């Protein structure tokens, strides 16, 4: 019997005994219309794909607002609204964090107006993760599922021909949207206000959205705007009680609005909570074990190795005596990092043993100085010029206390050379139904600060195929079955290697990129899988646009004098957006003085990727950024 290729087995959810590096006949054995990276030369298009491509090409973007990384000001927005900020080191990764008083003028006002107690009430943070219950056993889960009645949405779905609902055509999409309309979906935390577009899309699709978030969250204004069905404020200050409070709130929604169709989130820190809520309610979702493994870098590596997938050399470092054996095993160059997400505090490249010893002291010192603010890990500050108000704020957070809240184990890992990519995946019913690759530009080292990206990828087709294979197998070996994933990888001198799997949609330009280039809306596909509806997105047969985006880092340290430096480009026909990411008077840092600050973001479109890259870099050179 002929053996299936490794990716074919991964797509079918079956185990393959083929080596993970095998990519021969990749396109021949896969649905190439799921993966734009596959070379379709010589393949015949289906009429459905032709239809959707024609429809998407006719769609006009004129007058539409293209969401970026910035937070938004709502019509009813007031100073006391609580709003997350983006992790400044992971803009495309899309991680939220609790605002710090140093972040911006607006955040200083929020800090002083809300007060420390209110901040703890309003922001879901890392301290919650350790307080969550263990996932249910298989028997417990099956018992709950067996006793959970079908919602009207799933009842309608069960009455429809599966081949038509699962068709990758415009008619198939119409049927899926018909089933989704009226579905009751609960969102656990809305994330930062720049994600308003998620709820706009849900409203457009007819979803009856309910948001559970902090009592003063910005998203309560969405209920006033009739964009969501209901807003429920939950006090997050007592981490031990958050799960029970959210579960009780979900059951109250079920009583008031009828059977629930799904519970989901687009916010990183809420994913572990959502996985446990979903299985407790008998709803569709990924297991807590899969989510927890993805969040633990060392556990991810262990599971990949057990599955026979290539993984970077790595070793835990729990004390100074571990440094030498770790260096001997991992080799140089290497990267030292916390095994859990810590707002990218302590991620440093080292090239030899003296650098490793120095970096270890520095990283452990940074983590020791780090403090928990409203339950989130924040880096200690050293030389800020504090105003009287800032000093009062700092008095509540000046002492390092992170080690009493979060396990701060470090890991030494092989440095990965080569180009970095993001692979945005959609899984449905255990299968990968969409995957697209975006090229990431070189980061600012040694901090690995993001710079820019382009889509579609310009890497050789064979490399894209290998990267796609690695992304699919990585998510599946962790145990994921459904939803949208943002997978970060590198194509190294030894082949593709995983950086990490983010078990939710990426942030910043990620949704825009997939929608503009391939016509796939990751928000819609995530909502479908959350409600138990199959995802089979129609995908353009060729790129609809060729885009490049660039997050410009400060070239010197100082204070931003004004933010008018982008105005000459904001109405350019080939510029989709040009936005400042800092405010007038804000302190910014260049790489020679520490973690660099992003000052603005750009997205452009041209007839080819190469032209788009050249154009956005030309804008960068032309900008006169007023830092003094």
Please report which helix (H) or strand (E) contains residue 88, including its range.
Answer: none
pLDDT for residue 618 is more than 70? yes
State mean pLDDT over 157-169: 93
Q: Does any domain span residue 216? A: yes
Same domain (yes/no): 250, 378: no
Q: What CATH number is associated with residue 264? A: 3.40.50.20
522 neighbors 511 (Cβ within 8 angstroms): yes
Coil, strand, or helix at residue 295? Answer: helix
3-state SS of 11-72? HHCCCCCCCCCCCCCCHHHCCHHHCCCCCCCCCCCCHHHHHHHHHHHHCCCCCCCCCCCCCC
What is the per-residue DSSP string for 101-127?
A: TTT-HHHHHHHHHHHHHHHHHH---GG
In degrees and rounded to multiples of 5, residue 317 shows phi and psi of: -125, 105
Same domain (yes/no): 339, 216: no
Q: What CATH number is associated with residue 407? A: 3.30.1490.20
Query: Cα(537)–Cα(204) distance, rounded to whole angstroms?
Result: 17
Q: How far is CA 39 from CA 47, 53, 152, in A?
A: 18, 17, 41
Query: Cα(362)–Cα(117) distance, rounded to whole angstroms?
Result: 31
Query: Which of 291, 325, 344 is the endpoint of a domain?
Result: 291
Nearest partner of 93 among 513, 422, 445, 554, judged by Cα: 422
598 strand-pairing partners: 553
% residues pLDDT > 70 (the chain): 75
Q: Does any domain span residue 370? A: yes
Range of the domain at 363: 313-382+403-412
Contacts of 266 (CB under 8 A, 6+ apart): 187, 191, 195, 198, 504, 505, 523, 526
Least confident of 88-92, 131-135, 390-394, 617-621: 390-394
Q: Does any domain span residue 187? A: yes
pLDDT for residue 449 is more than 60? yes
600 strand-pairing partners: 552, 580
pLDDT for residue 476 is more than 50? yes
- Token representation of residue 483: 């939803």
Nearest partner of 292 among 90, 426, 479, judged by Cα: 479
Least confident of 33-42, 254-263, 449-458, 500-509: 33-42
> If pLDDT is split at 50, 70 and 90, which confidence band does 72 have?
low
Same domain (yes/no): 210, 274: yes
Same domain (yes/no): 153, 277: yes
- The number of domains in the chain is 3
Same domain (yes/no): 267, 333: no
pLDDT for residue 400 is more than 50? no
Same domain (yes/no): 146, 190: yes
Query: Cα(235)–Cα(242) distance, rounded to whole angstroms?
Result: 8
Query: Cα(553)–Cα(570) distance, rounded to whole angstroms?
Result: 19
Q: Does any domain span residue 421? A: no
User: Where does residue 94 rank: exposed (0-12), middle (13-18), buried (19+ CB within 10 A)?
Assistant: buried
Coil, strand, or helix at residue 385? Answer: coil
Please report which helix (H) or strand (E) contains residue 208, including its range.
Answer: strand 208-213
In this prediction, residue 442 carries a pLDDT of 85
> If pLDDT is split at 50, 70 and 90, which confidence band does 83 have?
confident
Same domain (yes/no): 360, 227: no
217 neighbors 223 (Cβ within 8 angstroms): no
% residues pLDDT > 90 (the chain): 60
Q: Does any domain span residue 608? A: yes
In degrees and rounded to multiples of 5, residue 387 shows phi and psi of: -80, 175
> If pLDDT is split at 50, 70 and 90, which confidence band does 581 have?
confident
Nearest partner of 20 among 508, 553, 494, 528, judged by Cα: 494
- What are the start-end ranges of the H helices in 258-382? 271-280, 288-295, 297-306, 323-330, 353-369
Q: What is the pLDDT of residues 344-394, one digit of tens each?
A: 456 788 999 999 999 998 888 776 655 443 334 444 444 444 444 344 333
Q: What CATH number is associated with residue 583? A: 3.90.1170
Same domain (yes/no): 256, 364: no
Q: What is the pLDDT of residues 281-307, one digit of tens each?
A: 999 999 999 999 999 888 999 999 999
Q: Does any domain span residue 334? A: yes
Least confident of 5-9, 500-504, 566-570: 5-9
Is the N-terminal amide bond of 295 cis, ω within 30° of 0?
A: no
Higher-confidence residue of 516 and 368: namely 516
Q: Does any domain span residue 148? A: yes
Query: Which of 371, 390, 412 is the endpoint of a domain?
Result: 412
Q: Does any domain span residue 328? A: yes
**What pTM was computed for the model?**
0.85
Same domain (yes/no): 154, 269: yes
In this prediction, residue 407 carries a pLDDT of 52
Q: What is the pLDDT of residues 8-56, one digit of tens each?
A: 333 333 333 333 333 444 455 566 678 987 765 544 444 455 565 566 5
Query: Which of 291, 326, 350 is the endpoint of a domain?
Result: 291
Q: Where are the strands (E) in 493-545, listed by range?
A: 495-502
Q: Give the gyration radius of the chain's Cα atoms.
A: 24
283 neighbors 263 (Cβ within 8 angstroms): yes
In this prediction, residue 613 carries a pLDDT of 96
State mean pLDDT over 434-445: 89
Same domain (yes/no): 607, 555: yes
Same domain (yes/no): 287, 320: no
Same domain (yes/no): 285, 319: no
């Amino acid at each position: 019997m002929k053996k299936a290729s490794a990716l074919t087995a991964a797509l079918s959810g079956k185990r393959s005994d083929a080596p993970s590096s095998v990519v021969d006949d990749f396109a021949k054995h896969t649905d190439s219309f799921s993966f734009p990276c596959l070379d379709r030369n010589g393949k015949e298009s289906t009429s459905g794909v032709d239809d959707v491509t024609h429809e998407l090409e006719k769609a006009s973007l004129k007058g539409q607002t293209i969401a970026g990384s910035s937070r938004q000001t709502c019509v009813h927005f007031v100073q006391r609204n609580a709003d997350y900020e983006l992790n400044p080191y992971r803009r495309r990764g899309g991680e939220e964090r609790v605002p710090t008083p140093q972040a911006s003028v607006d955040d200083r006002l929020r800090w002083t107006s809300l007060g420390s107690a209110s901040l703890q009430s309003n922001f879901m943070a890392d301290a919650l993760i350790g307080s969550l219950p263990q996932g249910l056993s298989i028997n417990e889960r099956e018992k709950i599922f067996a006793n959970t009645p079908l919602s009207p949405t799933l009842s309608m779905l069960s009455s429809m021909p599966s081949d038509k609902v699962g068709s990758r055509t415009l008619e198939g999409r119409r049927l899926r949207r018909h089933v989704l309309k009226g579905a009751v979906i609960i969102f656990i935390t809305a994330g930062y206000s720049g994600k308003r577009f998620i709820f706009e899309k849900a409203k457009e699709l007819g979803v009856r959205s309910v948001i559970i978030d902090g009592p003063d969250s910005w998203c309560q204004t969405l209920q006033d705007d009739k964009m969501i069905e209901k807003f429920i404020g939950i006090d997050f200050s007592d981490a031990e009680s958050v799960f029970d409070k959210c579960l009780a709130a979900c059951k109250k929604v079920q009583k008031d609005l009828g059977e629930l169709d799904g519970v989901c989130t687009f916010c990183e820190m809420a994913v572990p909570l959502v996985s446990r809520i979903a299985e407790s309610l008998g709803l569709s979702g990924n297991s807590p074990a899969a989510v927890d493994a993805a969040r633990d870098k060392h556990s991810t590596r262990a599971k990949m190795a057990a599955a026979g997938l290539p993984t970077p050399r790595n070793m835990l470092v729990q004390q100074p005596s571990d440094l030498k054996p770790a260096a001997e095993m991992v080799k140089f160059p290497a990267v030292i990092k916390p095994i859990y997400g810590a707002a990218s505090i302590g991620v440093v490249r080292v090239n030899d043993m003296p650098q490793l010893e120095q970096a270890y002291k520095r990283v452990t010192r940074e983590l020791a100085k780090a403090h928990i603010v409203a339950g989130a890990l924040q880096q200690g500050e050293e030389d800020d010029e504090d105003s009287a108000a800032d000093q009062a704020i700092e008095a509540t957070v000046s002492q390092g206390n992170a080690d009493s809240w979060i396990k701060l184990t470090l890991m030494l890992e092989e440095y990965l050379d080569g180009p970095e990519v993001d692979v945005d995946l959609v899984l449905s019913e255990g299968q990968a139904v969409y995957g697209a690759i975006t090229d990431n530009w070189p980061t600012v080292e040694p901090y690995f600060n993001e710079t820019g990206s382009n889509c579609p990828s310009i890497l050789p087709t064979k490399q894209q195929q290998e990267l796609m294979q690695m992304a699919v197998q990585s998510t599946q070996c962790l145990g994921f079955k459904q939803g949208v994933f943002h997978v970060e990888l590198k194509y190294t001198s030894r082949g593709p290697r995983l950086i990490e799997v983010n078990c939710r949609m990426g942030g910043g330009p990620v949704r825009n990129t997939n929608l503009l280039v391939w016509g796939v809306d990751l928000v819609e596909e995530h909502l479908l899988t959350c409600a138990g509806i199959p995802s089979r997105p129609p995908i353009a047969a060729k790129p609809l646009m060729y885009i490049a985006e660039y997050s410009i880092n400060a070239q010197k340290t100082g204070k931003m004098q004004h933010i008018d430096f982008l105005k000459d480009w904001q109405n350019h026909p080939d510029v989709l957006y040009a936005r400042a990411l800092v405010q007038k008077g804000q302190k910014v840092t260049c790489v020679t003085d520490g973690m660099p600050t992003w000052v603005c973001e750009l997205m452009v479109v041209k007839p080819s990727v190469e032209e788009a890259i050249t154009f956005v870099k030309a804008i960068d050179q032309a900008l006169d950024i007023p830092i003094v």
